[in-house]
Structure 1
């Protein structure tokens, strides 16, 4: 660390005071890796050195930080030598809390191009962790990156440097030179544009510090009411994994020829279509500078040939380069093993951490499958995007209403079973399902003239199944009132469980109290279906609520298609394509497979099904377990890679069925109480 004592007070510049401030060439320090603190001379100040070989990805130091309030630091700290050590910890209200790293943190020197240590700010513990990015040899200095651009201790650039930078800008206009500098081999135009903005973003990181949230899903403590159940990794916390690659040093003048060589031999060097040898996310070059025996700075260009897996045998690679490379790599090529990131940087904010290993691009597609260090796919999930989506109060109310509907249906079924006045006793299970359109589609449905709007219906009391305050649920004719549905009468009544009175009500002309909702597509009505678990009542072990719902949707699909000119594939009427399913319990494995086969789009559940559910993956290996779901079912069917369909699973996370941040006139149902009230015993949900 360059140690500069700012001349804030004249008295401190007296010779006897300055003599007391001089540091020795070596400072004692106790740590588990035997790291030493030395001043090698040359004006760099003290630094941290390895006294034994260190492996890549080794956590070598965790430094606590000392924080300074914004006003205090501006008034006092910025006017002292602390200003050369502190950095922005967190901004607030246009000002910044400043931090001083204790321990070894403030002693790591800066390396402008190839630091061998990365660091992460941990706001939760007020500490900074330092980890090696590659193998470090005994006696090698451990360095970090303070960021891009001229450092505060460096003098302004000379005229010679300025002229050289101008020349480099002119050279950048040459296509070959531009390819050499950026190494955009195999990147699409979209990726180039994305990476350009990412690099600009990285350059604006103050002091080169990469800020990362504490491990876990990136959501506030109060959190959204609905949470995605997936084993996908949040890009904020996905670990930086590296693997071996063949790298070779070349003269800068040979860079354009190396680019052409790379383009000529993609099959041998870089298979960009699979996760085994792909280097599509990596740049082809990185540059560094070193000092020769005469004290002159020498620029070096490091060229990425391929991953080690493409050429496991170095002797064969050398022979091939000598034969195919011609004069590009010289008569005696000297490739060596280096480390490169396994995947692209998952966020723009973490690009600095990735770039410290090897230049690469950013890919922020949350649904993209990328290989981990073993070649297996890793699903990224955008937790911040989920947070933003579920901060929409209208969307949360839409989900809340349908959960209330399911609970009301289950209570109604149990009440009928306990009603001693009924002649025919019906045995019931406290499980119910509601199928509807996803929020983004449902809110665009249109109401008939005089009927309540979709927004007005969402304001109804969905815990009521009947009465003036209850929402209208079910199927009404989407066409003219003169159209008769009599040919479908028996099929609808038997499949949807309707009475003759309900049929008559559903076949009358719409009025102000009856809502009719249709799709923007002519002749297609909304699909809204309720279903109960009928296994006990019908003495049929297959009649789960989910299965009954699929059957009812099939009926409505068939009616729509029979009244249109659309061609229907054999067996396609039962599909839940483009629909969302709400259920009280996490579906069992049997129901999950039915949902896969039915092509459901989204599944929402209220209560977990430990030991029996098929969405949480609690019994899977650690890497395949879903976040916030270890109290649920044993598998995660929705994420099995061998299936031909995947659906999104969401869970109500609040401890009660209440709208967040809104007062309720009546006490909300606690989920623990619902689990007791609607307990289904040993049956699969």
Structure 2
């Protein structure tokens, strides 16, 4: 529940909220819903509970007695409570208010980062660049069509009909009528290949595509090498890392690991952090490490130390009005953080662009 409760903590408290919530104990989820049209400049607020239960004083509306709240009977979000003891009444109470439809772009953008193999199979890449995406297999030429069935039985009997070759058509025919059949992966030594019937040629090794085709263009390219199955799917927006971006990523990782090693040599926990703006952009740069041992403070995690240093850097440079208004200068907004270790839940609330 840490993440959904963390999301709930983003909303400020209000006696007349515009965000409601619904707790599902079995699924251990909280669903947040806007209860009216949200206009530009509106603040998203939620009802935490009656004023006497809050850990902060309400300002500006002391004339309203806490007991007059229309949401007095609703329970607050279960901050700090185990999920298995939460009451069923912990639900938002704004069920009767109509929710205006809001049409906008999705909050999150799905970007698929391509591996080296996928980059070489990307649209427009010629077949000659696909060497890493090919695999060696044993094949045989079959001159007598009636032998196909017995040959398939031999393949299945010897366990050569494996999933790693399921994306390939078993048989290939050329314009002369010659038929070639895949026997098994070339990882199988030739000495372990089974005895083949007369009329079947000697096994030899060729290269075939390593994966199924996901587009018509891939299908056409791969079929020139060996017929493959076609499995169209909805692909996320593909981002191919440029050499400059790859160098930028590697340098960030190297700096973070270097900071971790320096911390280890100093007797500190070996956790390093490096923060910098995206390639081609200007912004604060910080390199630091864990400080729990030196400070004697259990919350001086490396990420927390880095966030503090970024805040100090940004406080020295007055942010313009636009940055203050849209939150561009908030915590690690717009920056990329490189860490030698996975951050804890507390350290993930930095507002960074990418980790």
| Shorter-normalised TM range | 0.3 to 0.5
- Larger-gyration structure (1/2): 1
TM-score, scaled to structure 1: 0.22
